[in-house]
Amino acid sequence: MKPFAHSLKNNFSRRAFLKTAGKTALAAPLLLGIPRTVAAAFVPKASEAMYYEKLAEKKIKCRLCPHECQVADLERGSCGVRENRGGTYYTLVYGQPCAVHIDPIEKKPLFHYHPGSQAYSLATAGCNFSCRFCQNWEISQRRPEQVQAITLWPEEVIRQARNQNCPIIAHTYSEPVIFFEYMRACAALGKEKGIPNVMISNGFIQKKPLQELCRLLGAVKIDLKAFTEIFYQEQCGGRLKPVLDSLLTLRSENIWFEIVVLLIPGLNDSRQEIERMCRWIGRELGPEVPLHFSRYSPTFMMKNIPPTPAETLHMARKIAQSAGIKFCYVGNLLSAAGDTYCPSCGKVLIHRLLYSIEKPGLNGNRCKFCQTVIPGVFT
Amino acid sequence: MKISRRCFGKTLLFSGAALTAACLPSWLPAAETDKSLVAQAVSPQLKRINHDIPKQSAQEYLNRSMLIITGKNNVTAAWRSLFAPAENVGIKVSCLPGRPLSSSLGLVTAIVDGLLAAGLAKKNIIIWERTSRELEKAGFQISRNGLKIMGSDELPGGGYSDHIEFSGSMGTFFSRIMENIDALINVPVLKDHDLAGLSGAMKNMYGAIYNPNKFHANHCDPFVAELCNHSLIKGKLRLVVCDASRVQVHNGPAFYPSYAREYGGLLVSRDPVAIDFAGLGIINSLRREMGLPTLADAGREPAYIQTAARLGLGQAVERLIRKVSI
């Protein structure tokens, strides 16, 4: 195949573009033929949750995420998908995805993990955060009975992924941590059948369940929402420290992971904050962790702030590069800063346009030009 | 003439109701009496028999309460002072714990009778909760025609509006029922709540939004107050009828017989804050009788009550609330 002339979007091949668009359009038909559960009649199925502790008087304490919700009988945790029924904690979303699509792995984004692959992507309702800028709020901020769901057991997920020629299964869109049991089952089965699972997460999870996932998953992407506690508290209903702890756990568990930072004007895009973040990443996680700066668009509860200017994204990328981070990207923006460059010779290894890729400089996991080993999982 | 989306939705929900009436600006009650007047009854006749207050007792005490809080001298006038015949009225019940601790059917029936006496048509009344399933578990029979008894979940879009509403720090979607009624009668059950401290009138409105699970931090403060400060609730709430026939004194909101007391109480007011303040007094008093610490001593003081008072939603100071015992 003729290599791309990188950075010139008009030179991107029409065939490559249509191929991607066509595959992405497969998403909707996936739901056809599978019985949907209509919200009004939906009674969530329940299976016992993992990682919780029984307390006196039929209360429970959830140990899955750092919220550590103490939940009385008949109540639910903050995620809205785990319910105490008589002192036993249940997940209401096991095998009940409300979103099933086929996406390029670049959309997650995971740029160093089987680039160019299609990921069979699924999500259930619910999230343990309440980000005011959530792009997927229509499922993440709803409870199981408020969405249309289908029944899709892990065996069927594997079968469907295989039938759709997807070598990867992605748990994504909402927050996979809150459907931990379902993701865990899919990941265990996928590992056995040779279809790795990836988690696209906010990283707000306790250490033990994360360690368990690390043994089953192929890769993880973490949304690092900001580098201040106040942002996490006011904009997300969460906390920064546990997310940083999760990143350290991923590092120590030696699983492939990438980080995405959505830059929102005036809230988390100051030079000082980005510098502190990049220094921490370089020092604690190492310079080879890919770092993506994504463009925010107004949505959900945050419609009063304009989209992130391109200059801000490029500034952040430069700061990251100055901090020694080798693979820095700009996302949600057509730009040459979405390409992968060899950190040694500077040549283009992977060229991306939208979610299509070409690999003009990559040979296996090495730079074709200078033989530098590129970190990640390449096929 | 264009019909607004809200107006269309109203027509859809209350099919058969006169379109003109439904589109009129919300009719405001003209009761002259002190808004923070709480009529409070405690009687053996109000104790539950087979999980229900006997309808006759409920009606008697409710009507007497209505005379007190409206200052009218007959029951029909009392109800008419709060509700106009052409209005669509929603009765928000509380059904989470199932029949033993839900809004009593006998009491709700008495409320409906009061509305009918005021000249409202059955078809303009809806008894509602989050889901029809919860209503059924509480003993209500689902009805989609005439007098409607149904959950928000029966309506399009899962029952919730498609536009976000803000109030203070909260952003949420309201039940379409809340959007389409003219007036609201709130019928909570007085109970302890593990996280909120107390679940009464204001906390009952968590059943009107799609994501209550996001607003339980810090003992629901300021969220309960902020929610009730939204115009959809503040502007439509006309009456609170608090069922204290059986009070869950501890370990709520679920029903635990060992911590429940057959109190035989009924509180009626137009002020949701005053009702909750009075309810807090009852819960604390019953807790002391049972040898339990007060909610404040247990670290679960429902601070949202004072927050609501600061927002101007009602009174939460003893001397500013006029209690009339029946």
Tell me how far apart the alpha carbons of residues A310 and A147 are, in angstroms, rounded to a whole number. 35
> pLDDT value at position A23?
39
User: What is the reported pLDDT for A217?
Assistant: 98
Residue B236, pLDDT score: 98
**Does the pLDDT value for residue B22 go beyond 50?**
no
With CB atoms and an 8 Å threshold, state whether B214 touches A39.
no
Q: Tell me, yes or no, whether A223 and A274 share the same domain.
A: yes
CATH number of the domain at A301, please: 3.20.20.70
Check whether residue A340 and residue A221 sit in a common domain: yes
Predicted local distance difference test score (pLDDT) of residue A4: 30
- Count Cβ atoms below 10 Å from residue B74 Cβ, excluding itself: 12
> What is residue A298's predicted lDDT score, i.e. its pLDDT?
96
Q: Give me the pLDDT at residue B242, please.
A: 98
Q: Which residues of B touch A42 (CB under 8 A)?
A: 153
What is the model's pLDDT at position B6? 52
Distance CA A134, CA A142 (A): 12
Closest-CA residue of chain A to B165: A301
Q: Classify residue A16: in a domain, yes or no.
A: yes
Whether A372 is covered by a domain: the verdict is no
pLDDT 10s digits, B255-293 = 999 999 999 999 999 999 999 999 999 999 999 999 999
Beta bridge partners of B127: B91, B149
Q: Are residues A254 and A165 in the same domain?
A: yes
Has residue B52 got a pLDDT over 70? yes
A373 within some domain: no
B158 chain-A contacts, CB cut-off 8 A = 39-40, 142, 145-147
Q: What is the mean pLDDT of chain B?
A: 91
Q: Which residue stretches of chain B are H helix?
A: 5-13, 19-23, 55-70, 75-80, 105-117, 132-137, 176-180, 223-228, 231-234, 272-289, 304-310
Q: What's the pLDDT score for residue B180?
A: 94
What residue of A is the nearest CA neighbor of B170?
A: A301
Task: State the best of B134, B137, B198, B213 to mutate against chain A, taking most chain A CBs within 10 Å.
Answer: B213
Residue in chain B closest to A80 (alpha carbons) equals B213
pLDDT value for A372: 98
Q: Do A146 and B210 touch (CB under 8 A)?
A: yes
Closest residue in B to A141 (Cα) is B211
- Say how far apart CA B302 and CA B40 lie, in whole Å: 21
Query: Can the peptide bond before residue A109 be classed as cis, meaning omega within 30 degrees of 0?
Result: yes
Containing structural domain, residue A60: 44-91
| Entry pTM | 0.86
Residues A316 and A207 in one domain: yes
Separation in Å, CA of A251 to nearest CA in chain B = 31
**Same domain membership, residue A197 and residue A81:** no
| Spans of chain A, pLDDT less than 50 | 1-42
Report in angstroms the alpha-carbon separations of A188 from A96, A169, A214, A217: 18, 12, 11, 8
Strand, coil or helix: what is B160? Answer: strand
From the CA of A27, how many Å to the nearest CA of chain B? 21
Per the CB < 8 Å rule, is B253 touching A74? yes
Please tell me the predicted confidence (pLDDT) of residue B35. 78
Q: Report the distance separating Cα A62 and Cα A76, nearest Å.
A: 10
- Which chain A residue's Cα is nearest to B194? A72
Residue of B104 and A355 predicted with greater confidence: B104
Same domain, A111 and A152: yes
* Minimal C-alpha gap between A40 and chain B (Å): 5
pLDDT digits (tens, 9 = 90+) for B142-190: 999 999 999 999 998 789 998 889 999 888 999 999 999 999 999 999 9
Q: What is the pLDDT of residues B199-221, one digit of tens each?
A: 999 999 999 999 999 999 999 99
- Asked whether residue A209 is assigned to any structural domain, the reply reads yes
- Both A135 and A203 in one domain: the answer is yes
Is A80 within 8 Å of B211 when comparing Cβ atoms? yes
Confidence of residue B13 (pLDDT cuts 50, 70, 90): low
Question: What is the least distance, in Å, from the CA of A350 to any CA of chain B?
Answer: 41
Cis, peptide link before residue A115, omega less than 30° from 0: no
Of A40, A70, A72, the CB nearest to B254: A72
B102, amino acid identity: S
| Residues of chain A neighbouring B97 (CB-CB closer than 8 A) | 74
Sheet of A82-85: strand order equals: A47-48, A88-91, A82-85
Of A73, A146, A237, which has the smallest distance from its Cβ to B160's Cβ?
A146
CB atoms within 10 A of CB B12: 12
Which chain A residue has its CA at the smallest distance from B151's CA? A40
Whether the complex's predicted ipTM is more than 0.90 is answered with no
**DSSP helix/strand/coil, B34:** coil
**What pLDDT is recorded for position B33?**
52
Q: How many CB pairs under 8 A join A and B?
A: 74
Residue B153 has its nearest CB partner, among A58, A145, A237, at A145
Q: Is B24 at the interface with chain A, CB within 8 A?
A: no
**Percentage, residues of chain B above pLDDT 90:** 85
- Number of domains chain B contains: 1
Q: What's the average model confidence in pLDDT over B103-126?
A: 98
- Ordered DSSP codes for B197-253: EEESTTGGGGGGBS-GGGG-GGGGTTHHHHHHTSHHHHTTEEEEEEEEEEEE-SS-S
pLDDT given at position A41: 43
Percent with pLDDT over 70 in chain B: 90
- Predicted pLDDT of residue B156: 83
Q: Which domain holds residue B177?
A: 5-325
Q: Does B264 touch chain A (CB under 8 A)?
A: no
Count up the domains in chain A and report the number.
2
Q: Flag if B211 and A142 touch (Cβ within 8 Å).
A: yes
Mean predicted confidence (pLDDT) in B19-38: 50
pLDDT score of B9: 52
CATH of the domain at B140: 3.40.50.11440
Spatial contact of A24 and A104, defined as CB atoms under 8 Å apart:
yes
The reply to whether A213 falls in a domain is yes
Q: B100 is written with which tokens? A: 């033993």
B144 touches chain A (CB under 8 A): no
Subunit contact A141:B214, Cβ cutoff 8 A: yes
Candidates B158, B216, B254; nearest CB to A78: B216
Confidence of residue B14 (pLDDT cuts 50, 70, 90): low
Which of B96, B133, B217 is facing A43, going by the closest CB pair?
A: B133
For residues B121-137, average pLDDT: 97
**Would you call B129 helix, strand, or coil by DSSP?**
strand
Nearest beta carbon to residue B171 from set A58, A132, A143 = A132
pLDDT at A81: 97
Question: Is pLDDT of B315 > 90?
Answer: yes
